[in-house]
């Protein structure tokens, strides 16, 4: 029954280069019937959610889930279907990652870096966009520590990221 989810993490500032990627990524994943998980705020989170909303409607199985730091269902961006206010501040970064089958990073500062670290620690497949401004460009093809044998995957554009995601899902049985 469980619906497949991809977490999209990245800069909360409005950076056109990153937002363009995030919106296209959200759109493409929604077209595949995949639901989106974000931290519910602006920047990459808002753009990815907007992209997903542009495709899906109530007849699609794709929904946008926003895992919010505060206590109000209204604090997130306007593209959220399910608002999950956690009330635990940036500790909610752990929950963004845990609620995602796969995590994709698009740029990002300290918050995104903490999420990439959690994704690694919790053994989630992690894809980092390269060639952009922010932490995702520094982490592709690297191991965060030696507790995992694999590396962070790297994508240079949306199509490559979507192909990696579809490949991972096709190899899992859920």
Binding site for a second copy (CB under 8 A): 1-3, 5, 35, 53, 58-59, 61, 63-65, 67, 71, 73, 78-91, 93-95, 98-99, 101, 109-111, 113-114, 117-118, 120-122, 134-135, 144-147
Q: Which residue, 75 or 160, has its beta carbon nearer to a second copy?
A: 75
The SS3 call for residue 27 is: helix
Neighbours of 97 (CB within 10 A): 24
Q: What angle do CA 31, 33, 38 make, to 5 degrees?
A: 90
Q: Which residue, 151 or 160, has its beta carbon nearer to a second copy?
A: 151
d(CA 128, CA 53): 23
Query: Minimal distance in Å, beta carbon 78 to a second copy?
Result: 6
Query: Minimal distance in Å, beta carbon 90 to a second copy?
Result: 6
Q: Which residue, 170 or 173, has its beta carbon nearer to a second copy?
A: 173
Strands of the chain, DSSP E: 5-10, 35-38, 64-68, 82-85, 102-106, 126-129, 153-155
Query: Minimal distance in Å, beta carbon 159 to a second copy?
Result: 26
């Amino acid at each position: 029954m469980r619906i497949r989810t991809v977490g999209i993490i990245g800069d909360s500032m409005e950076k056109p280069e990153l937002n363009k990627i995030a919106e296209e990524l959200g759109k493409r994943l929604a077209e595949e019937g995949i639901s989106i998980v974000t931290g519910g705020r602006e920047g990459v989170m808002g753009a990815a959610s907007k992209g997903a909303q542009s495709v899906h409607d109530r007849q699609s199985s794709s929904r946008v889930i926003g895992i919010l730091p505060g206590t109000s269902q209204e604090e997130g961006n306007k593209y959220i279907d399910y608002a999950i206010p956690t009330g635990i501040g940036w500790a909610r970064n752990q929950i963004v990652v845990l609620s995602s089958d796969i995590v994709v990073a698009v740029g990002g500062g300290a918050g995104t870096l903490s999420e990439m670290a959690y994704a690694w620690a919790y053994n989630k497949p992690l894809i980092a966009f390269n060639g952009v401004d922010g932490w995702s460009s520094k982490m592709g093809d690297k191991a965060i520590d030696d507790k995992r044998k694999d590396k962070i995957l790297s994508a240079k554009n949306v199509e490559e990221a979507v192909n990696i995601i579809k490949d991972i899902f096709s190899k899992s049985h859920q």
